[in-house]
Structure 1
Amino acid sequence: MHYGKIARIALAVTYKPGVVVAPTLRTVVRRLPLGLAVLAGHEALDRPVRWVAVSELEDPTPFLEGGELVLTTGMRLDADGAAPYVDRLVARGVTGLGFGVGLGHEEIPAELVTAASRAGLPLVEVPRQTPFVAIGKAVSDLLAAEQYEEITRAFAAQNRLTRAALRPEGPRAVVERLARELGGWAVLLDEAGGERHAAGRGAAAVAAVIPELGRLRGRPREGGTPSSLAFSTPGAHVVVQPLGARRIRGFFAVGLGKPFSPVEHTVVNAAGSLLTLLLEHGREHQEAERGVRSAVLRLLLAGETRAGRETLELLGGGLADGPLTVLACGGDPEAVLEAAAEEFAADADGRVVVIVPAERAETAAAALRGHGPVGVGTPVDDRQLGTGLDQADRALAAARRGGEPVMRFADLAGQGLLSLLDAGAAAAFSAALLAPLREYGSRADLLESLRAYLACNGHWDAAAQRLGVHRHTLRYRMRRVAEILGRDLDDPAARAELWVALNV
């Protein structure tokens, strides 16, 4: 994994502040050397100051958004207008009222103090020597400081998430780190919605997430990036993001007991980028390893046992000493490979080949049977793996024909005599006898036709019916087999040899 790439992706997540965490009015009054004094509304000083607005209008509310500290000298304010003025500000949701004395009024009118106290609106006295612009600059500086602190916290959290991603258990570590950073729960889901990793209290609430995944699968991707989804449950606010660069490969969800802040949204986005990178890299690594394992399988089947074992050791695995059993597995290769993760397994030619110590063959077959039919060979040594695979393939074919979850080569009908033959000698005999047929272009139908003909004891109609061809077609094929092999198929001895060769 290119670790520098992970760090750059995490740190490149754009910070989108949205609603900036603003300083409180208490902070503005107490921490700034502006000589401000609170005359009313002390209990509401922890309201945030999102901006400063200066107005001498009798009704400035059409020009306000809420959350402002309104500054005025009361030039147009008289005793009768104090209460309606305060009521309008409160209805608009302003944070507080700053009244400048020494110009229009030497002190704040008592009617205004009374109205503000009754309405719970903080009323702040601004001395003559403090210009309104100084208050505006001070609040602006505090807002910038809060935003900088938010960005700093977001990038610090991203760095911790990046370090988590570099750990061997990358996705799990990122999910656990995210839950700790936010003080909530986080869960990683596979593409079908199955839980892979969960962390934090309340992760059981993930059940509410599953019905929402269908909505995400159907959403368009903006600029190649999957869209996210946010919703609320009785116990949590939840954000769900799909994961995957080219297609959805999974989901992750995060839940908090409160609405997400801008910093928390940024941290969630960073975690999503890291998880996507880890999933994509993991898939590329798996595909590369699958290719190596398929190559190792070819080495083992070709008799290059030493080279195959050495390559497996480089992958961190290996084959056990002693008798081995080969299993041929149908079904979805992805599912079979995952189920056989503890064994040597490689996909080749439409099935997965699993090689296990002979004493674990039954356990492995039981673990794999739920993912498709399984054929089990007889124990062989590492120089006879080709024979073991041929047996497993024949058992797999029988399992498919009979609808059986597991078929063992030793249980196939007619194997009693064959089991007495030396496996290596029988395999060599079979390979030599049938080589001309196997080398005859791509006409694999000759082998299957010969097998059906012998199984039906030379009865043309029965064999043709089993193959689903006309008996004249079968007669033609058997003439070609006789010519290619140089054998008389009417000779009982030739038939016996061919039957043995086809079944070892």
Structure 2
Amino acid sequence: MPPTLGGLVRTPSLGLSPLTGDEGLERTVGWVAVSELTDPTPYLAGGELLLTTGVRWADSRPDLREYVRRLARRDIAGLGFGVGVALERTPEELREAAAEFGVVLLEVARRTPFIAIGKEVSRVLAKEEYEGLSRAFTAQRDLTRAALTGAEAVVDRLARDLGARVLLMAADGSPRHTAPAGAALRPQDLAGELERLKTAGPRASVAVTAGGDRIWAQPLATGRRVRGFLAVGTGGPLGPEQRTLVNAAVSLLSLELERDAHGDIARMGEGVLAALLTGALDPAHPGAERLVAVLPPAPVVVAAADGVQGAHPPHGVLVAGHEGRAVLLASADTPAAALADLLDGPVGISEPADYTGLAVALAQAERAREAARSRGGEPVRAAELPGGLLGLADTPAGVRMAEELLAPLLAERSGAELLASLRAYLAASGRWDAAADALGVHRHTLRYRMRRIRDLLPVDLDDPDVRAELWMALRLHGGRA
């Protein structure tokens, strides 16, 4: 449950006493704000429990009725007055104004620091968020299990979990399945919007109002082709948990419609791989077996290239477009030449990985692809490249970043001396005498050069992260340090 005024009053350690508005104690508290301003409303968003001690009221003598009226118009959750600081008791004028405008007024005991109230609200909010994530995880698991039965089961489960009306439509907008059965959610309520969604991309969505309800619609697509639409009708806005659940249903339904369109799950390769790369599909998730039946058994390799040759990949090999490039997934024992035949342009191939390491494998394939491009020849496997972090950074992109980082030093007439001094300083772990001896210069000369380097590079050379980054840049720029 979210934090409420009543919940705070019922927390003995806080020492809060309601003075007015008992009927409003179940109001939700969005946050706690502390202000001694005579008009804090410009700094309030609504829903806060505002705390004050009235420390300035003795001097400014504000109109407390007007003060409360403005707070009521801002729709705060409640007002807490701390006694024993500036005033020994809550002003009667404040009580009367709170009762007049329907603002819940709480008296805060002298022993209660305002920060304790803020901490309690934060604790309850964090607990609510955790419980929400747990509910969302459980609901997503149930959706995945429903996908084993088919698209209609996913729609039924989503409608039950959201307490909403859900409509599954075909690509032409005709209804395929509605839940609950007979719910009055019609495609014509989205007239004119479905065509726009077809060209807006798979992550697009639209919201319309029909018959007093809010209807949310999204396209169902695994690649460029829209296979259908999902519409959800609710009586109000969707919260974070509900949006997460709808997104999960969209991913599952997109894969299911792709399977239906091809008539065989073995031809879903593009959709399954795209879902894996974006994280929409977890192959280890309970109930996902039916959706990932096309995946080759681990270990697998990931290959990256500029595009595909156009040939249909053989069974067990998946090819998909991902962030402007072609990505291929195949068994680890697939020959590099066979992978290259399916892809267009320089080809990079990762080391063997299981399905929990696809992100690392994709990064390896990208690095190998850049090496293949620079070599202008055969496909390159990541295992052929230098290992370690330096090897990962030793790509055209990494070298370019190194040059950009060192550019202020390279632009100097004495750039070579400055680079050598920085290299010696870092190699000696900042020990002046050792670094100066390695350079064959006096330590005062080295100190002068290092001051110049500090002026040119807007970084903190005492930060170990900065030192590591500069050392890597020097290695990439000049080869072996």
What is the TM-score when the length of structure 2 is the normalising length?
A: 0.52
Alignment of 1:402-413 (within 5 A): none
Q: Does 1:228 align with 2:205?
A: yes
Q: Determine if contact 2:173/2:194 at 8 Å carries over to the other structure.
A: no
Q: Determine if contact 1:53/1:70 at 8 Å carries over to the other structure.
A: yes
Compute the displacement of 1:259 (Å). Answer: 2.6
Structure with more relative contact order (C-alpha pairs < 8 Å, separation 6 or more): 1
Which residue identity lines up with residue 172 of structure 1 in the other structure? E
Fraction of identical pairs, as percent: 49
Determine the structure 1 residue equivalent to 2:43. 63
Determine the structure 1 residue equivalent to 2:176. 196
Instruction: Identify if the C-alpha distance between structure 1 residues 216 and 31 changes in structure 2 by more than 3 Å, giving closer, same or farther.
Output: farther
Determine the structure 2 residue equivalent to 1:82. 64
Determine the structure 2 residue equivalent to 1:51. 31
Q: C-alpha separation between the residues in 1 aligned to 2:167 and 2:229?
A: 8
SS of corresponding position for 1:104:
coil
Picking from 270, 275, 278, the partner of 2:253 is: 275
SS of corresponding position for 1:39:
strand
Instruction: Identify if the C-alpha distance between structure 1 residues 38 and 197 changes in structure 2 by more than 3 Å, giving closer, same or farther.
Output: same
Show CA shifts across 1:348-373 (max 9, x none): xxxxxxxxxxxxxxxxxxxxxxxxxx
Compute the displacement of 1:276 (Å). Answer: 0.7
Q: C-alpha separation between the residues in 1 aligned to 2:37 and 2:182?
A: 51
Determine the structure 2 residue equivalent to 1:250. 228
Q: Determine if contact 1:216/1:242 at 8 Å carries over to the other structure.
A: no
Structure 2: give runs of 5+ residues left out of the alignment: 268-481
Determine the structure 1 residue equivalent to 2:324. none
Determine the structure 1 residue equivalent to 2:127. 145
Q: C-alpha separation between the residues in 2 aligned to 1:111 and 1:199?
A: 55
Determine the structure 2 residue equivalent to 1:130. 112
Q: C-alpha separation between the residues in 1 aligned to 2:84 and 2:105?
A: 16
Compute the displacement of 1:281 (Å). Answer: 3.0
Task: Supply the RMSD in Å over aligned alpha carbons.
Answer: 2.1
Instruction: Identify if the C-alpha distance between structure 1 residues 218 and 186 changes in structure 2 by more than 3 Å, giving closer, same or farther.
Output: closer
Compute the displacement of 1:261 (Å). Answer: 2.2
Q: C-alpha separation between the residues in 1 aligned to 2:57 and 2:181?
A: 55
Q: C-alpha separation between the residues in 2 aligned to 1:49 and 1:284?
A: 51
Compute the displacement of 1:280 (Å). Answer: 1.9
Q: Determine if contact 1:183/1:200 at 8 Å carries over to the other structure.
A: no
Alignment of 1:148-227 (within 5 A): 148-167=130-149, 170-200=150-180, 203-217=183-197, 219-221=199-201, 225-227=202-204
Which residue identity lines up with residue 226 of structure 1 in the other structure? R
SS of corresponding position for 2:241:
helix
Instruction: Identify if the C-alpha distance between structure 1 residues 201 and 73 changes in structure 2 by more than 3 Å, giving closer, same or farther.
Output: farther
Compute the displacement of 1:94 (Å). Answer: 1.3
Compute the displacement of 1:213 (Å). Answer: 4.1
Compute the displacement of 1:204 (Å). Answer: 2.6
SS of corresponding position for 1:265:
helix
Compute the displacement of 1:80 (Å). Answer: 5.5
Q: Does 1:120 align with 2:102?
A: yes
Q: Determine if contact 1:83/1:112 at 8 Å carries over to the other structure.
A: yes
Q: Determine if contact 2:39/2:67 at 8 Å carries over to the other structure.
A: yes
Q: Determine if contact 2:166/2:185 at 8 Å carries over to the other structure.
A: no
SS of corresponding position for 2:215:
strand
Instruction: Identify if the C-alpha distance between structure 1 residues 176 and 104 changes in structure 2 by more than 3 Å, giving closer, same or farther.
Output: same
Compute the displacement of 1:139 (Å). Answer: 0.6
Picking from 254, 264, 284, the partner of 2:242 is: 264
Instruction: Identify if the C-alpha distance between structure 1 residues 22 and 208 changes in structure 2 by more than 3 Å, giving closer, same or farther.
Output: farther
Q: Determine if contact 1:209/1:253 at 8 Å carries over to the other structure.
A: no
Compute the displacement of 1:77 (Å). Answer: 2.2
Q: C-alpha separation between the residues in 1 aligned to 2:20 and 2:233?
A: 39
Q: Determine if contact 1:41/1:121 at 8 Å carries over to the other structure.
A: yes
Instruction: Identify if the C-alpha distance between structure 1 residues 270 and 288 changes in structure 2 by more than 3 Å, giving closer, same or farther.
Output: closer
Q: C-alpha separation between the residues in 2 aligned to 1:287 and 1:179?
A: 26
SS of corresponding position for 1:250:
strand
Which residue identity lines up with residue 52 of structure 2 in the other structure? T
SS of corresponding position for 1:209:
helix
Instruction: Identify if the C-alpha distance between structure 1 residues 81 and 210 changes in structure 2 by more than 3 Å, giving closer, same or farther.
Output: closer
Determine the structure 1 residue equivalent to 2:6. 26
What is the TM-score when the length of structure 1 is the normalising length?
A: 0.50
SS of corresponding position for 2:214:
strand
Compute the displacement of 1:81 (Å). Answer: 2.2
Instruction: Identify if the C-alpha distance between structure 1 residues 109 and 217 changes in structure 2 by more than 3 Å, giving closer, same or farther.
Output: closer
Larger radius of gyration: 1
Structure 1: give runs of 5+ residues left out of the alignment: 1-20, 290-504
Instruction: Identify if the C-alpha distance between structure 1 residues 202 and 83 changes in structure 2 by more than 3 Å, giving closer, same or farther.
Output: farther
SS of corresponding position for 1:74:
coil
Instruction: Identify if the C-alpha distance between structure 1 residues 80 and 240 changes in structure 2 by more than 3 Å, giving closer, same or farther.
Output: closer
Instruction: Identify if the C-alpha distance between structure 1 residues 152 and 66 changes in structure 2 by more than 3 Å, giving closer, same or farther.
Output: same
Which residue identity lines up with residue 90 of structure 1 in the other structure? A
Instruction: Identify if the C-alpha distance between structure 1 residues 217 and 75 changes in structure 2 by more than 3 Å, giving closer, same or farther.
Output: closer
SS of corresponding position for 2:255:
helix
